[in-house]
């Protein structure tokens, strides 16, 4: 089959909303786009374990500690689903990790912010996981089969994450004056970085056009951001917290909120390695990988020894 | 597809049976160095919420699959034998269920 025919078949599949599977022919740029997006998603899951892991030993109760442990374990699992989805595009796990550790591959900018108080764990579950869910619900219908299937499993597990975070915020908001202030402070610090998670405005998003054309994404950054704001504002109001945006206003005509513009200079700074925790996060990842080397080598040696014994 | 040269160990495909009596369904894959580790990792990764009561793990490179280019000719024989389907046959109206 010549390339023209292969391209026609590929486009026909997409227009019928059929999934593309690993063994199907796909344009090089589609493959590259997916490797970039899925691996960035995988990296975000495992780097996302770090800011939350910071609070496991200091969780305020045994219940809270068990929940947080389970959540962080889920994030590790989500990373693994996504890594194998990327690997189905013919790139090895070693290469993917190398790209993360050398800074060639990115992860979500939100994880470069510190978790200073227990309320930050609430804000992350409620806002950060809430924003991630909004994106991931859309990605359940993404055109690449292994990515779509990973997303279905992730979405099933993610809903507990958001609810446990909101529960923490609810509890703090009916607590002492200091606890209420702590919740408000966490919202103040995490609100804008959360809005940035959806990516740059549509007009300036370099990757969006192809992603929509190839049905990798079905909705634009701005559409998802708007839906997140519409959904989250009433949740904040209900527990007496104030969204830190003086331009936030209900707009009857569009049946949604008008809201302010995130600071895109800050976004670009954090993306390019200059956020508050970039060095710490990447350092922790590299250290974990290096210190795990002997475990991988020992496991490999043990497996080979057992194989020899069976053969003998 | 299988990156067995990886430092992460070979790739395994995981199948979960939801309840006894039901078929084993493919749910994803993972890396592990040997079969015991593959089974334990599969439990930790794919059945944290009672998704299953039994698991299979199979080395990915042991799986033989059809290729997408051959869909037409490969599955052709299924299409031209409509008489394999029960609806092909005319049964008197008086017979309600068969």
pLDDT tens string A262-307:
999 999 999 999 999 999 999 999 999 999 999 999 999 999 998 8
- Helices A62-87, A93-101: axis angle to 10 degrees equals 120
Residue A265 tokens, joined: 């200079």
Residue A17 tokens, joined: 């909303």
What's the distance, CA B43 to chain centroid?
Answer: 17
CB contact set of A142 (below 8 Å; sequence gap of 6+): A148, A151, A215, A216, A217, A218
pLDDT tens string A66-97:
999 999 999 999 999 999 999 999 999 999 99
| Among A146, A303, A307, the residue to mutate for chain B (most B Cβ within 10 A) | A303
The CATH number of the structural domain formed by B11-65 is 3.10.20.520
Break chain B into its structural domains and give their ranges: 11-65
- Helices A177-196, A129-139: axis angle to 10 degrees equals 30
| Chain B CB contacts of A310 below 8 Å | none
Residue B44 burial (CB count, 10 A):
14
pLDDT tens string B35-46:
999 999 999 999
pLDDT tens string A132-175:
999 999 999 999 999 999 999 999 999 899 999 999 999 999 99
Chains A, B: CB contacts under 8 A, how many? 64
Long-range contacts of A250-258 (CB under 8 A, 24+ apart): A256/A226, A256/A229, A256/A230, A257/A226, A257/A229, A257/A230, A257/A233
The span from the CA of B98 to the CA of B86, in Å, is 9
Q: pLDDT-based confidence at B2, cuts 50/70/90?
A: very low
pLDDT value of position B4: 42
* Contact: B45, A302; criterion CB under 8 Å: no
- Say what the pTM is: 0.92
């Amino acid at each position: 089959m010549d390339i023209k025919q292969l391209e026609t078949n590929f486009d026909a599949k997409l227009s019928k909303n059929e999934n593309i599977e690993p063994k199907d022919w796909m344009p090089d740029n589609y493959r590259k786009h997916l490797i970039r997006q899925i691996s960035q998603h995988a990296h975000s899951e495992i780097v996302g374990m770090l800011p939350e892991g910071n609070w496991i030993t200091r969780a305020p109760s045994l219940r809270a500690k068990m929940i947080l442990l389970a959540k962080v374990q889920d994030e590790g699992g989500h990373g693994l689903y996504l890594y194998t989805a990327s690997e189905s595009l013919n790139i090895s796990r070693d290469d993917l990790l190398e790209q993360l550790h050398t800074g060639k591959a990115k992860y979500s900018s939100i994880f470069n912010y510190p978790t200073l108080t227990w309320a930050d764990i609430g804000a992350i579950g409620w806002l950060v996981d809430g924003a991630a869910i909004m994106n991931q619900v859309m990605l359940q219908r993404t055109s690449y089969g292994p990515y779509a299937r990973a997303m279905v499993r992730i979405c099933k597990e993610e809903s507990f994450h958001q609810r446990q975070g909101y529960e923490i915020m609810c509890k703090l908001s009916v607590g002492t004056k200091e606890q209420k202030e702590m919740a408000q402070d966490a919202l103040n610090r995490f609100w804008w970085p959360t809005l940035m998670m959806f990516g740059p405005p549509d007009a300036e998003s370099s990757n969006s056009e192809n992603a929509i054309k190839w049905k990798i994404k079905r909705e634009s950054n701005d559409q998802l951001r708007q839906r997140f704001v519409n959904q989250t504002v009433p949740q904040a109001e209900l527990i007496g917290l104030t969204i830190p945006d003086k331009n936030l206003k209900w707009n009857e005509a569009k049946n949604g909120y008008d809201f302010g513009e995130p600071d895109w200079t800050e976004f670009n700074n954090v993306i390019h390695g200059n956020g508050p925790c970039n060095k710490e996060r990447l350092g922790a990842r590299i250290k974990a990988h290096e210190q795990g080397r002997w475990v991988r080598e020992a496991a490999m040696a043990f497996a080979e020894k057992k194989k020899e014994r069976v053969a003998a | 597809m299988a990156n067995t040269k990886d430092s992460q160990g070979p790739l395994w495909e995981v199948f979960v049976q939801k309840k006894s009596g039901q078929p084993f369904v493919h749910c994803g894959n993972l890396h592990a160095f040997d079969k015991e580790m593959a089974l334990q990792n599969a439990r930790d990764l794919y059945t944290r919420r009672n998704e299953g009561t039994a698991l299979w793990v199979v080395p990915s490179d042991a799986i033989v699959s059809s290729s997408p280019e051959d869909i037409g000719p490969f599955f052709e024989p299924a299409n031209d034998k409509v008489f394999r389907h029960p609806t092909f046959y005319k049964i008197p109206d008086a017979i309600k269920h068969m």
